[in-house]
A and B are shown apart, each in its own frame.
Chain A
Amino acid sequence: DGGITQSPKYLFRKEGQNVTLSCEQNLNHDAMYWYRQDPGQGLRLIYYSQIVNDFQKGDIAEGYSVSREKKESFPLTVTSAQKNPTAFYLCASKQGAEAFFGQGTRLTVV
């Protein structure tokens, strides 16, 4: 079945460690996005990519990095520079009007 897969669903990280969240899609979509969701904050854009080997910062890119080496994959690295990384992270892809979301990764810093 076509869709977007995020892994893992739950992730725990110690303070000071980098961690990478996976996002894979087999929908053949050009555009992919990473959002962060905190309680009462809605979805905020971290990074997006419109084509392979190109990506742009969103509203809250500090402390995060991405790569887009393949059309299907758009991994997000949460670095130790991100001061408040505990959140629900959502990946999405889009071709045309509708965006499709993955099931999300809940990251907790312990």
Chain B
Amino acid sequence: GQNIDQPTEMTATEGAIVQINCTYQTSGFNGLFWYQQHAGEAPTFLSYNVLDGLEEKGRFSSFLSRSKGYSYLLLKELQMKDSASYLCAVRENQAGTALIFGKGTTLSVSS
């Protein structure tokens, strides 16, 4: 079956570093995505990993290990505006098919 697991909630302070983990079990794998979603708004794309390793994009980095079915999103130099839900999603096969989403991790950043 399909299963994508993330922690439900995390808290951190401004300026800190936080790592949000995601584990997945899917029938196929053709890429893992991270999205950010502020309350009541649409998800916005953060990162995409299809090969093992680390992808860095500014303050955000994402890591993938396909053999372990594991990814993490690393947020550095946290800001208050980073308070949001972070959604992990897997694409099972190549073109056209939908993303399977985890339930999301709500991150609260305090001063």
Contacts and interface: CB of A to CB of B under 8 A. Distances in A.
A102 B42 CA distance: 6
Contacts of B48: 97-98
Interface stretch (A12-20, A38-46, A62-70, A71-79): A38-46
Query: Looking at chain B's contact residues, is the secondary structure mostly helix, strand, loop, or mixed?
Result: loop
B56 to A, nearest CB: 17
B20 interface: no
Contacts of A101: 42-44
Interface residues of B, number: 24
Nearest to B103: A42
Contacts, number: 54
A43 B41 contact: no
Given A40-B103, A42-B87, A43-B87, A103 B42 contact: yes
Contacts of B103: 40-42
Interface residues of A, number: 25
A48 to B, nearest CB: 5
B41 A42 contact: no
Interface stretch (B11-19, B68-76, B92-100): B92-100
B41 A48 contact: no
B104 A99 contact: no
Given A43-B101, A101-B43, 12 more contacts: A40-B8, A42-B101, A42-B103, A42-B104, A45-B98, A48-B96, A48-B98, A50-B97, A58-B98, A90-B43, A97-B50, A102-B42
Interface of A: 30-31, 33, 35, 40-45, 48, 50, 58, 88, 90, 94, 97-104, 106
15 contacts: A33-B98, A40-B8, A41-B103, A42-B104, A43-B101, A45-B98, A45-B100, A48-B96, A50-B97, A94-B96, A97-B33, A97-B48, A97-B91, A99-B33, A104-B41
Q: Which 8 A-B pairs have the closest CB atoms?
A: A42-B103, A101-B42, A50-B96, A43-B101, A42-B101, A31-B96, A45-B98, A48-B98
